[in-house]
Structure 1
Amino acid sequence: MEMLWFVVFALLLAGYFALEGFDLGVGLLLPVLGRTRETRDRMVAAMAPYVLANEVWLVAVAGTLFGVYPLLEGRVLFGLYPLVVAMLLSWILRDAGLWFRRRVDGPRWRGFWDAMIAFGSLGLSFGWGMTLYAAATGFTASPVHPLGLLLGVVVSLLFALHGQTFLGWRAPGAFGTARSGRALLVSGLLAALPALGVLAGAAPYLLEHSAPSATLNVLSVMVLPFAPVILGAQVWVWRTFRPGKDADRVPSFF
C-alpha cells in the first residue's frame, strides 16, 4: 500500500508541474510576448479554460502529502513558513490578476493586473524550485541557498518553455512557430523533471515514513474511487478546448 500511494503522489505532483506549469509559463511570458493589449488578451484567453482544472492538482497534492506523509506536515508548513506564505500570496495575486484584469476597461487597470499575473507566476515558479531544493535536503537546509536559487531559475525557465510550447499548440501561428501535441507532451515532461528527480531521491524516506497501513487503507477507500472523475474532467477540458475551438473569439479571462 505504501508503494501504491507513493506512485499516486508522484503522479499527482508530476501532473501539477506538467499542467499548471504551462499556466505559470504563460504568465511569465506575458511581459515578453505580450507587447500589445490584444496580444496579452489572447495569451490569457489561451490558458483561461485550463487554469481552474489545473489548480485541482495542487489541492490533490496537498491532501495526499498531509494524509499519506503526516510527518512532513510540520517540516513543510513550519520549516518553510516564509516561503509557503510567499507562494500563497503569489498564487492569490496571479489568480486575482486573471479575474480582475477585465473588470475595468482602462490601460492602467489592465497593466497593473497583467503585472500581477506575471509577478505571481514568477513567485510560484521560483518558489517551487526553492521548495524542491529544501525537499532534496530533507528540509534541513534553508531554501535561500545558491543551489536553491539556481533551482528556482531552472524551474522558472522550464515553465516558460512549457508555456511557449503551449501557446504554439493552443493558438498555432499566433505566437511564433506552431507546435504539435507531441511537443507539448515533451515540454510537460521537462517541466515535471525536477519534481520527479527529487521524488526519486526521496523515495526510500517517503516509503519508510508513510502513514500506518490502516490509515492508507481508509484513504484508498475514500479517495481512489474519485480518481476516474478527476481524470475524466481533465479529458473533457482538453477535448473541449483543444486547438480550433474558437479560442480567438474569447478575448480574455471571465
Structure 2
Amino acid sequence: MEILWFGILAVLLAGYFALEGFDIGVGLLLPFTGERDRAVGAIAPFVLANEVWLVGLAGVLFGAFPVLEGEVLSELYPVVVGLLVSWVVRDAGLWFRRRLDGSGWRSFWTAAVAAGSLGLALSWGGVIAGITGAPALLGVVYGVVVAVVFAFHGWTFLAWRLPGEAVAQGASRTGRGLALSAAVAVAPVVAPLAVLAPDVLGEAAPSATLSVLSLMVLPVVPLMVGAQIWVWRVFRRGAVPTFF
C-alpha cells in the first residue's frame, strides 16, 4: 500500500511540473515578448486545471505522508511561504491584468505575473533541494535550474499553442516537441524523488489509514483524469481567450 501511495505522490508531483510548468514558464517569458495578451490567453484555459495537481499533492502529503509534510512545513517554512505568496501574486496578476483599461494597470499586473512565476520556480527549487538536505545556496541554484527548464517548457508551449504567431520563434511547434519539453520540466523533481524513495516510503501513514484513503480517493481519480483530457481536447487549438 505504501508503494501505491508513493506512486500517486510521484505522479501528482510530476504531473504538476509537466502541466503547471508551462504556465509558470510563460509567465517567466512575458517581459521578453511583445505579444503578452496572446501569451497569457494561451495559458488561460489551463491554469486552474493544472493547479488541481498541486491541491491533490497537498492532500496526499497530508493524508498519506503526514510526517513528511510536517518536516517540509517546519524545516522549509520560509520557502513554503514564499511559494504560496508567489502563487497568490501570479494568480492575482492573471485575474486582474485585464479588469481595467490602461497601459499602466496592465503593465503592473503583467509584472506581477512574471514576478510570481519567478518566485514559484525559485521556491520549488528551494523545496526540492531542501528535502534532499542540500544547503540554502544550492537551493537557490536549483531554483534557477527549475526556472530555466520551466521557461523552455513555456517557450515550447507557446510555439505549439500559437503556431501562426512569432511568440516563440525557433521552438518546436509539434505535440512531440511539447512532450519533450514536459519531460525536461519534470526531470528536476523526478530524479531527487527517485533517490529519496526509501526515505519517503518509511514515512508513510499506517497501512490501515492508507487503506481508508484508497477507498475515499481512488474513485475520484478517473474524474480528475477525465477533466484534464476534456480541457486539453477543447482548448488545445482554436481562438485564444481574451478574458485574461
Q: TM-score, with normalisation over the residues of structure 1?
A: 0.92
User: Cα offset for 1:73?
Assistant: 2.2
The corresponding residue for 1:105 is 101
The yes-or-no answer on 1:120 pairing with 2:116 is: yes
Moved over 6 A (4+): none
Count of residue pairs brought into register by the alignment: 241
Residues in 1 aligned to 2:127 and 2:80: alpha-carbon distance in whole angstroms: 9
User: Cα offset for 1:50?
Assistant: 0.0
Contact 1:129 1:148 in 2 (8 A): yes
User: Cα offset for 1:179?
Assistant: 1.1
Show the 5 A alignment for 1:43-54: 43-54=39-50
Residues in 2 aligned to 1:130 and 1:93: alpha-carbon distance in whole angstroms: 18
Secondary structure of 2:75's counterpart equals: coil
The corresponding residue for 1:186 is 180
Residues in 2 aligned to 1:62 and 1:202: alpha-carbon distance in whole angstroms: 18
RMSD over equivalenced CA pairs, Å: 1.1
User: Cα offset for 1:251?
Assistant: 2.6
| Counterpart selection for 2:222 from 224, 228, 240 | 228
Contact 1:22 1:163 in 2 (8 A): yes
Residues in 1 aligned to 2:6 and 2:193: alpha-carbon distance in whole angstroms: 9
The yes-or-no answer on 1:240 pairing with 2:231 is: no
User: Cα offset for 1:252?
Assistant: 4.2
The corresponding residue for 1:75 is 71
The yes-or-no answer on 1:201 pairing with 2:189 is: no
Tell me the alpha carbon deviations over residues 227-254 of structure 1, each in whole angstroms, 9 at most, x when there is no partner. Answer: 00000000000000012x222xx3341x
Structure 1 gap segments, 5+ residues each: none
One-letter amino acid of the structure 1 residue matched with residue 150 of structure 2: F
Identity of aligned residues (%): 58
Contact 2:132 2:196 in 1 (8 A): yes
Residues in 2 aligned to 1:197 and 1:64: alpha-carbon distance in whole angstroms: 20
| Counterpart selection for 1:150 from 136, 141, 153 | 141
Contact 1:14 1:196 in 2 (8 A): yes
Tell me the alpha carbon deviations over residues 54-91 of structure 1, each in whole angstroms, 9 at most, x when there is no partner. Answer: 00000001111121111112211121111111111110
Contact 2:68 2:200 in 1 (8 A): no
Residues in 2 aligned to 1:136 and 1:81: alpha-carbon distance in whole angstroms: 15
Secondary structure of 2:47's counterpart equals: helix
Tell me the alpha carbon deviations over residues 132-180 of structure 1, each in whole angstroms, 9 at most, x when there is no partner. Answer: 101112xxx55x22x2111111100000000000000000031224511
Residues in 2 aligned to 1:99 and 1:124: alpha-carbon distance in whole angstroms: 17
